[in-house]
Amino acid sequence: MFDVHFLQQIVNGLSLGLVYALVAIGFTLIFGVLNVVNFAHGEVYTIGAFAGLLLITSVAPPLFAVLLVVAAVGALTGFGLERLAFKPFRRFRDEASIKSRAMREATLLSSLALSIVAREVLDLAFGGEMQVIPQSYLLQTPIMIGGVALTDGNLVILGASILMLAGLQWMLYRTRTGLAIRAVSNNVLGAQFVGINTERAIVATFLVGSMLGAVAGIMVGLYDGSIFPHMGFGPAVKAFVAMVMGGLSSIPGAVISALILGVAESVATDFVSAGWKDLIAYGFLIVTLVFFPRGIFGYSRERV
Amino acid sequence: MKPLALIGTVLAVAAVTAALLLSGSSYAVQVAITALIFVILTASLNLVTGTAGLMTLGHAAFYGVGAYAAALLSTKLGLSFWVTLPLAGLVTAFFGFLVALPTMRLTSIYFAVATLAIGEMIVVAITNWTGFTRGPMGIRGIPSITVFGHEGLTVNLLVVLAATLVSVWAIWRLTHSYYGNGLRALREDDQCAEAMGLNAVRLKIEVFTIACFFAGIAGALFAHTSGYISPESFRFGESILLLTMAVVGGLGSVPGSAIGAIILIVLPELLRGAGNVRMVAVGVVLFLCILFLPKGLFGEVSALAFARNQLRRAGLGWSR
């Protein structure tokens, strides 16, 4: 059972899971603060990948600089997204309307609409097929460690993810902005009463969440060697599944669920053909929603 | 008093149909058939999402179940259109019933995402179960509709038109009945509705099953009029298109569904010269609609007033 091949699948799964985790954190942060689902999160991931690709083909900077610029582009996209799709629906500032169902569904549809526009504009501009990535940037150089074939992509994803997760924890627990984000996510009205600028906290949430999503996009694009306008849909759905499995507003829960999901998908390729692989995430989602409506880590939540 | 607006609508539909047939343009007739099929789909989606307030993001998959049911029944068992049409509806309704059983305990966002997941599961299954559905190659050579030995575009249009009118009439009467009132109560506050004695879970399962029945009918019409189906027509993007049609027309409004569906089918055809901007147009229209016209072009309030007025004039229904 525990042979080299199995270990290999676990490693691949963990690196896939880390990517899902980065995307899932964006979802979870935004859900925690606004109680809404950002359906355009997958497109932030795609935009990150395309921004990185444009940079690589035009300027060809070192990889680290690419990741930084993509993070900046992601933050900018998040800001624009918040202004266009979420701000117009926050006309009232009381808690009832901020967390109301009408607001939730309106923003769900508006972010969905923007995601369609973004994806189709990219499709028109670049064409629907996979983009050509310069060979020197592909993160596919194999590195053998005791029979397990890692690639430098695995290491970059692992390093960058750990760095970003640590940075996020520092931001959330050691800075005033992080304190404001946690306060708003805990209780919007209470946060306003103690003088927290909730608008700023919400914008900060979008900036951070989209930054992580965009960096995940370019890393996966270079690791898989495929960047195309529809690439965001799969990771976004799986990140959403991870968020629901983790108990919705819990970041550690979402990260652990994302890793479980990644490993499950990677191991499952031994047993089923690639086409059926997508069923695993959907199956996890249905099982979670039906049998563990509070998420598999049992955090408290309102009625689902 | 006569239900003048209702009679006027029927006359207008007849006039447009006659004009289409007299113009002899097979392209225009084809667009009209597509628009009519989407009118059924949007009206059935609106019954679930608008009237009962359960946002579903996987309706196109049920449309696909209906289309595949009709296609397989007619190509493998050699059944005629008149048998496969109701059977496709029933098969899809049964599918919807099975899906509804576990998911109806979920509310709002969770239900939306569960339907998204189930819709994608259905499409993945259709795509990969190549032995049964021929997978991505799709099914070819589905026999077309025959009425007393006649077939062709004119027959297709008339049959689809008849099916659409019957389906929309049924959904309209259902929406504006005591049953529809119960669904609206459920949408506004399901706990309150339960406190007043409505069985919320049962109502939700019933309305989802009914909506799936009509989606299946639309799927069968699509399979038999186009002669070829593949999983591509039933993906998530198509569900979003349906949702956009319902939102643009007005959630909870049956005339709105028809208006939304027709606009979003005909508008891209008119834009055909401007390149492949169909989905961009869908996204922009959806966004602008939510921002500036959240109630839709023919909102639920006007739809309710219209229905009460017309039903009273016709001497039908509960509003006498």
Query: Which DSSP string corresponds to chain B?
Result: ---HHHHHHHHHHHHHHHHHHHHT-HHHHHHHHHHHHHHHHHHHHHIIIIIS----S-HHHHHHHHHHHHHHHHHHS---HHHHHHHHHHHHHHHHHHHHHHHTT--HHHHHHHHHHHHHHHHHHHHH-HHHH-GGG-B-------BTTB-SHHHHHHHHHHHHHHHHHHHHHHHTSHHHHHHHHHHH-HHHHHHTT--HHHHHHHHHHHHHHHHHHHHHHHHHHHS-B-GGGGSHHHHHHHHHHHHHH-TT-HHHHHHHHHHHHHHHHHGGGG-S-HHHHHHHHHHHHHHH-TT-TT-HHHHHHHHHHHHHHHT-SS--
Encoded tokens for B58? 């996987």
Task: Report yes or no: B142 and A290 within 8 Å, Cβ to Cβ.
Answer: no
pLDDT, residue B127, reads 84
pLDDT of the residue at A61: 82
CB within 8 Å: B107 and A304: yes
Contact state of A124 with B275 under an 8 Å Cβ cutoff = yes
The pLDDT assigned to A302 comes to 46
Average pLDDT over residues A271-287: 79
* ipTM of this complex: 0.81
Q: Which of B108, B127, B282 sits opposite A104 (nearest CB)?
A: B108
Interface of A with B (CB under 8 A): 37, 85, 88, 101, 104-106, 108-110, 112-117, 119-121, 123-124, 233, 237, 240-241, 244, 273, 275-276, 278-279, 281-283, 285-286, 289-290, 293, 303-304
What's the token pair of residue A171?
């931001």
Of all residues in chain A, what percent carry a pLDDT higher than 70?
91
| B229, β-bridge pairs | B139
Which candidate from B107, B124, B247 shows the least CB-CB separation from A303? B107
In sequence order, what are the residues at sequence separation of 6 or more whose Cβ sits closer than 8 angstroms to the Cβ of residue B121? A279, A282, A283
Q: What is the pLDDT of residue B219?
A: 92
Of B169, B163, B184, B183, nearest in space to B257 by CA? B169
What pLDDT does residue B244 have?
A: 84
**How far lies A113's CA from each of A81, A106, B100, B191, in Å?**
11, 10, 27, 31
Q: How far is A194 from chain B (nearest CA, A)?
A: 30
Tokens matching residue A121: 């504009």
Distance CA A205, CA A178 (A): 9
How is chain B split into domains, by residue range?
A: 26-235
User: Angle of helix B108-128 relative to helix B59-76, nearest 10 degrees?
Assistant: 30
For A102-124, the pLDDT digits (tens) are 777 788 888 888 988 898 888 88
Query: What confidence tier does A303 reach under pLDDT thresholds 50, 70, 90?
Result: very low
Residue with tokens 């979920």: B106
Residue A272, sorted as left (phi over 0), alpha (psi -120 to 50) or beta, turns out to be beta
Residue B77 Cα distances to B69, B217, B294, angstroms: 11, 19, 47
**Rounded distance, CA B47 to CA B257, Å?**
10
A240, A37 in Cβ contact below 8 A?
Answer: yes
Residue B273: what pLDDT? 65
pLDDT digits (tens, 9 = 90+) for A36-90: 788 888 899 999 999 988 888 888 788 888 888 999 999 999 999 988 888 888 7
* Cβ atoms B249, B256 nearer than 8 A: yes
> Across the interface, which of B55, B117, B282 has its CB nearest the CB of A285?
B117
A142 beta partners: A151
pLDDT at position B318: 57
What chain A residue is nearest to B289 in terms of C-alpha separation?
A110
pLDDT score recorded for residue A304: 40
**The residue to which tokens 């035009």 are assigned:** A58
* Predicted pLDDT at A47: 92
Q: Which residue matches tokens 């406190």? A: B195
Q: On the CB side of A262, how many CA atoms lie within 13 Å of its CA?
A: 25
> Each residue's pLDDT tens digit in chain B (320 positions)?
677 777 888 888 888 888 877 777 778 888 888 899 999 999 999 999 888 888 888 899 999 999 999 888 888 887 788 888 889 999 999 999 988 888 887 766 778 888 888 888 888 888 888 777 777 777 787 777 777 777 777 788 888 888 999 999 899 888 888 888 888 888 888 888 888 888 888 888 999 999 999 999 999 999 888 888 888 888 887 888 888 888 888 888 888 888 888 888 888 777 776 666 777 887 888 888 888 887 878 878 888 888 877 777 777 755 44
Percent of chain A with pLDDT over 90: 9
Range from A28-32, A213-217, B134-138 carrying the lowest mean pLDDT: B134-138
- How confident is the model at residue B228, as a pLDDT? 85
Token pair of A44 as six digits: 């932030």
Q: How far is CA B310 from CA A16, A216, B9, B175, in A?
A: 58, 56, 12, 14
> In this predicted model, which residue has the larger pLDDT, A30 or A72?
A72
List CB contacts (< 8 A) between B276 and chain A: 124
How many angstroms separate the CA of residue A160 from the nearest CA in chain B?
A: 30
